[in-house]
Amino acid sequence: MKTQLIVPTLCAFSTLLFTACEKKAGTSAESTAAPEAPAASGGSIGGVPLVTTLPPELIEGTPKPIKVPNLEPAPTKAPEFRVPAGTELLSKGKKVTGSDTNPIIGTLDLITDGDKDAGEGYFVELLDGFQWVQIDLAKSSTISAIWLWHYHSQKRAYNAVIAQISDDPEFKTGVTTVYNNDYANVSKMGKGSNNPYVETRYGKIIDGKGTKGRYVRLYTAGNTSNEMNHYIEVEVYGKAS
């Protein structure tokens, strides 16, 4: 698989602000999963803040210890990330395919249905092992950010989180890897330099770095609580070409 060089996007100020705001959160739960710290900031120089509707807190059950190296501290607020003016949510309602065509529970369309609640029925559970889902944005686009929620009713870290962008639906050519925390190379796609992180209602923003592509593919290989793979929602932000 060929990986392209990534060039960070620079952009100008803009007056555009996304619709946003945080839903009133439920009571926050104490976690034993990881130390907490302010969310990291990042994204384009200049630009506008990327904001979305955050789901309410829903923590169920007893968390399991997260034993992975270099675990990022769990955020206590939404991540701060700037994107170029004119950036739009491209993925809402778009078609999703995946390596597991018969999910254990839920359906792949839940990934782009716009609902980020953590409860039963709001997520899709894929088979164990190394699995992927793929969003077809319908047009080749310049992608600024991927904001994803795997599962946030229990603090856990997903293994081998990899995000790729391509214009090839088979991901055989023109593939850009924009995120990879597969520190143990379980994917056999090469070790990644990003760190494992704790799932929370704040989700995880992956810098799209202005990469062009029609398809976004996300991989995982189970998580620190069980062997399965889950997605609640994925939001892909950018500009359609």
Partner 1 sequence: MNQPLPFINRRDFLSKTIAGTGAGLVLGAPNILRAADPGSADTIHVALVGFGKQGEVLFNCLRNIPGLHFQAVCDISAFNLKWGMGQVRAFQRSSPKGYADIDDMLATEKGLDAVVVATPDFWHSPHTVKCLEAGLNVYCEKMMSNTIDGARAMVKAMEKTGKLCQIGHQRRSNPRYRFVLDHLINGQKICGQIVNINGQWNRSLGSSQDIGGEKLHASTIVPDDVLNKYGFKDMHQFRNWRLYLDLSGGPISDLGAHQIDIFNWFLGAVPKSVFASGGNDYFKKREHFDNVMCIFDYDTPQGGVRAFYQVLTTTSAGGGFWESFMGTEATIKISEIASSSAIYREDGAPPWDKLVERGFLKRKPAPPKPPPSADSVKSYESAPPEGFDLPGGFNKPAHQPHLENFFAAVRSNGSVKLNCDARHAFLSEAPIYYVNPSALTHQPIVFTTEQLSV
Interface region with partner 1, contact rule CB under 8 A, candidates 88-96, 137-145, 203-211, 222-230: 222-230
156-185 mask for partner 1 (x: CB under 8 A)? ---xx----------------------xx-
- Does the protein bind partner 1 through residue 57 (CB under 8 A)? yes
- Cβ at position 81, least distance to partner 1 in Å: 26
List the interface residues with partner 1, window 91-110 (CB under 8 A): 103-106
Among 20, 29, 37, 45, binds partner 1 (CB under 8 A): 29
Map residue 35 onto helix, strand or coil. coil
Q: Please provide the distance, in angstroms rounded to a whole number, between the alpha carbons at the two ends of the chain.
A: 24
Q: What angle do CA 26, 81, 114 make, to 5 degrees?
A: 50
Whose structure tokens read 């065509």? 101
Residue 51 CB burial class (10 angstroms; 0-12, 13-18, ≥19): middle
- Does the protein bind partner 1 through residue 69 (CB under 8 A)? yes
Residue 19 or residue 61: which is nearer to partner 1 going by CB?
Answer: 61
For the chain, give the longest Cα–Cα distance: 46
The sign of the torsion formed by the CA atoms of 42, 48, 52, 54 equals positive
Interface region with partner 1, contact rule CB under 8 A, candidates 116-124, 164-172, 199-207, 212-220: 116-124
- Does the protein bind partner 1 through residue 59 (CB under 8 A)? yes
Locate the DSSP E strands across 46-194: 48-49, 74-75, 80-83, 88-89, 96-98, 124-126, 131-149, 162-166, 176-180
Q: Give the residues lining the site for partner 1 (CB under 8 A).
A: 26-30, 32, 56-62, 67-69, 103-106, 117, 119-122, 125, 127-130, 159-160, 183-184, 186, 221-222, 226-228
